[in-house]
A = this chain, B = another copy of it.
Amino acid sequence: MELIDGKKVAAEIKQEIAAEVEKMVAGGKRRPHLAAILVGHDGGSETYVANKVKSCAECGFTSSLIRFEDDVTEDRLLEEIYRLNNDSEVDGFIVQLPLPRHISEQKLIEAIDYRKDVDGFHPINVGRMSIGLPCFRSATPAGIMMLLERYNVPTSGANCVVLGRSNIVGKPVAALMMQKGYPGNATVTVCHRDTKNLKEVCSNADILIAAMGRPESVTADMVKDGATVIDVGTTRVPDASRKSGFRLCGDVKFDEVAPKCAFITPVPGGVGPMTIVSLMRNTLLAAQHTIYQD
């Protein structure tokens, strides 16, 4: 069993990005610039955004954090999005989700210029990814692909089972895994809450990607010997022994599943760190106009 060390890979890729940025700067270009809109003071969102700002610094990017209180109107946020769309000093930006209920997340996402949509949530980027065209790939699926690639996990013709059909993980990672090329070209099955023979389907998987958000629901009897298991779950479980009062819990019962695996990602330290790295990579691509030229 080999542990897939997302923290280490993330650090490596950030160094590669930083080197690329220094080359850009030496060539007279300005640093890539990522902006983030944060509404309210949700603990999880504060942590995610703080980590994104920190990663920007590590990659040599400029970052801007634009804060609004919980009672901000949708119109005010749209106005800010239009401003960022038109700001030639900003290469990409994100709206940290979730948002307060009185605001339509979808409306905001669709207002973002798809050429600056480094989260890859705009329908144009989702559609282009499905069709197989260059696009901003959404961060978590792109991070999973990078991990498979760095560890040379065989994917072509493999049975890949995706647990969960969310718009931000399950569906896009399924789309990427079925594309021609490496990593990809797998036979992909997408399971969800209404899948009847879940254990049977999972136990045929060469690659199992768990993204349901149900802590420790993937048990050893569901996993084939020699499988690669990617755990996308990050549920906060109360833990009095931690200063924070919680610990992150994956979808996989790690201790019993790991011994059966060829490769497995831990939680934390597996997919999580890669998600931010994907965002950094998308921002670099945006600054270099690699995907969209104008």
Q: A residues touching B (Cβ–Cβ < 8 Å)?
A: 106, 122-133, 156-157, 159, 165, 167, 171-172, 174-175, 178, 185, 187-192, 194-197, 201
Task: Contact check, B190 vs A185: say whether CB atoms are below 8 A apart.
Answer: no
**Once the chains bind, are B157 and A194 in contact (CB under 8 Å)?**
yes
Q: Which of B133, B156, B178 contacts A165 (CB 8 A)?
A: B178
Given A123-B128, A127-B130, A130-B171, verify A187-B189 contact (CB < 8 Å).
yes
- Of the listed residues A128, A130, A197, the one surrounded by the most CB atoms of chain B closer than 10 A to its CB is A130
- Which residues on B sit within 8 Å (CB–CB) of A187? 189-192, 194-197, 201
Q: Residue of B at shortest CB range from A126? A: B127
Given A122-B127, A130-B130, A187-B192, output 12 extra A-B contacts at Cβ < 8 Å: A106-B133, A123-B128, A123-B133, A125-B127, A127-B128, A130-B167, A130-B172, A157-B195, A165-B178, A185-B192, A188-B189, A188-B190
The reply to whether A194 and B185 form a contact with Cβ atoms under 8 Å apart is yes
Asked if A167 contacts B132 (CB within 8 A), the reply is yes
Question: 9 smallest A-B Cβ distances: which pairs?
Answer: A127-B127, A123-B127, A126-B127, A189-B189, A187-B195, A157-B194, A157-B196, A123-B128, A123-B124
Closest chain B residue, CB of each to CB of A132: B167
How many angstroms between the C-alpha atoms of A195 and B167 in the bound complex?
25
Residue on B with the closest CB to A201? Answer: B187
Q: How far is the CA of A106 from the CA of B195 in the complex (A)?
A: 36
> Do residues A171 and B167 form an inter-chain contact, with CB atoms below 8 A?
no
Q: How far is the CA of A78 from the CA of B156 in the complex (A)?
A: 38
